[in-house]
Every structure is written in structure tokens, then in C-alpha cells.
């Protein structure tokens, strides 16, 4: 079946360190979205990437979509305690309305 | 800021009972979704709804599940005969267009005992 994988599953960093999570799909994606879910909260949309090789930045967050549109990454520079949460990628395959969520990377930031 | 609202926030039900989870999507959104998340696990797609009909559904969304948009504002998920494994957080989401950001509600935590 259609699968979207993410690594790592967990990441513990010291405040100020960088963090990267990687998303891989077994199928070419039409586009990819990233969401953040705080503990006990709901997914909150961060960004959408559509074009092959696209790179977008939001302050300390950098999002990248691979050339083959099968992988994506989210990089956080100089993490802060407010970055704590689970980061999910969600890929859309073909013309479907459904976004397939990856299992998420849970980020802990130690002060 | 507009938001998706869900009620109740927590529902406890006995196995075999019917439950209805309610959602009020953002008013000018056209696409509506239900997802579920078993504790600590990933967000799983259940169903999408557009133009008053189901547009896509997953394998999870079997005959025990149904969705309705009974009026211009509410969007409901019904589980006819709940099982223990239906225990999860259920999220409603809506989008303005198919390919735009999804706004998620706060979720309903369903506990089947």
C-alpha cells in the first residue's frame, strides 16, 4: 500500500542544537504538507511544498521537497523549548483528496 | 481566527453502543475530513466529504462508520456499534480547496469500555 515513512521516530536535543526530520514515500507525491502537533494538541499546518526541489523557509524552519518528489525534510536551526512536539509529513498521491500521514518524529528539547 | 470546533471533547461509551461525533467546520470551507489517531500513533485518514457526498474513504471506514452533513454547518461521524479498538482521538478537518492547508479541530477522545 501507499506508505509514508519518517525518521527518526524520536529525537532529543539540547536547546540551541539543530534538528532534522526526514520523510520518505514509496510513491511519487503530488505535494507534501508538514504539520506540528504539540503534546495533547491537534495537528497544526506548517507548510505545503508542491514543486520538485522546492525549498521554503519559515524563520528557523527550512522545508525541502526532493527532486523526485518522493522525499522531504524539515530542518530546525537552533531549537527552542517551544519547538517541542511531533512533526508529521503528509503526502498527497495523484489527484486524490487524501493526504497520507507519516508516523511523525517526536522532538524533545532539553533546556 | 476561524477554527474547526468539535464536540464532545471526550466521550466514553460501552462496546456495542452507537456514538455520534460532531464537528463544525470553518464556514466557507468546502472539503471536510475525519481522521483518527490512536494514542501515540500516527494520524490515519478515515474519510473525505465534498459536495454532500463521500469523495474518498480508507479501509478503516467500513460499514460501521457513516458521515453526514445534516445542515449547512455540522459535519458528523457516526459509529454504529463501537468496538474496543475504536478507542482513539478523532479529528475533524476542513479545507477551502482540495489542495490547501487543513484546519484541524481539537479532537474528540473516544473511549470504548
Each residue of B12-21: pLDDT tens digit? 999 999 999 9
How confident is the model at residue A35, as a pLDDT? 97
Looking at chain B from residue 70 to 109, which residues have their Cβ under 8 Å from any Cβ of chain A?
Answer: 91, 98-107
Least confident of A11-15, B1-5, B17-21, B82-86: B1-5
Q: Which residue of A has its CA nearest to B89?
A: A42
Of residues A31, A48, A101, nearest to B43 (C-beta):
A101
Whether pLDDT at B66 is above 70: yes
What is the per-residue DSSP string for B1-48?
----EEE-SEEEE-TT--EEEEEE--TT--EEEEEEE-TTS-EEEEEE
Rounded to the nearest angstrom, the minimum Cα separation between B40 and chain A is: 9
Contacts of A31 in chain B (CB under 8 A): 99
Is the distance from CB of A90 to CB of A32 less than 8 angstroms?
A: yes
Q: Does residue A11 sit at the B interface (CB-CB below 8 Å)?
A: no
Average pLDDT for residues A48-62, to the nearest whole number?
97
Q: Across chain A, what does the average pLDDT equal?
A: 95
Cβ–Cβ gap B104/A42 under 8 Å: yes
Chain B residue whose CA is closest to A43: B104
Residue B102 has pLDDT above 70, yes or no: yes
Q: Is the pLDDT of residue B90 over 80?
A: yes
Task: Note if the bond before B99 is cis, omega within 30 degrees.
Answer: no
**pLDDT, tens digit, 9 for 90 and up, residues A74-96:** 999 999 999 999 999 999 988 77
Amino acid at each position: 500500500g501507499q506508505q509514508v515513512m519518517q525518521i527518526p521516530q524520536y529525537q532529543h536535543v539540547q536547546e540551541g542544537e539543530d534538528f532534522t526530520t526526514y520523510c520518505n514515500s514509496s510513491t511519487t507525491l503530488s505535494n507534501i504538507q508538514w504539520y506540528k502537533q504539540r503534546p495533547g494538541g491537534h495537528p497544526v499546518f506548517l507548510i505545503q511544498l508542491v514543486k520538485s526541489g522546492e525549498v521554503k523557509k519559515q524563520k528557523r524552519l527550512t522545508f525541502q521537497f526532493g527532486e523526485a518528489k518522493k522525499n522531504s525534510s524539515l530542518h530546525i536551526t537552533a531549537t527552542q523549548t517551544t519547538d517541542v512536539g511531533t512533526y508529521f509529513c503528509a503526502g498527497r498521491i495523484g489527484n486524490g483528496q487524501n493526504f497520507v500521514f507519516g508516523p511523525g518524529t517526536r522532538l524533545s528539547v532539553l533546556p | 481566527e476561524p477554527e474547526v470546533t468539535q464536540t464532545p471533547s471526550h466521550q466514553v461509551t460501552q462496546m456495542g453502543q452507537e456514538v455520534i461525533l460532531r464537528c463544525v467546520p470553518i464556514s466557507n470551507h468546502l472539503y471536510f475530513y475525519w481522521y483518527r489517531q490512536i494514542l501515540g500513533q500516527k494520524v490515519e485518514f478515515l474519510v473525505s466529504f465534498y459536495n454532500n457526498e463521500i469523495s474518498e474513504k480508507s479501509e478503516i471506514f467500513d460499514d460501521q462508520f457513516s458521515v453526514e452533513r445534516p445542515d449547512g454547518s455540522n459535519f458528523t461521524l457516526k459509529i454504529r456499534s463501537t468496538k474496543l479498538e475504536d478507542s482513539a482521538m478523532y479529528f475533524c478537518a476542513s479545507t477551502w480547496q482540495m489542495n490547501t492547508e487543513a484546519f484541524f479541530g481539537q479532537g474528540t477522545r473516544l473511549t470504548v469500555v
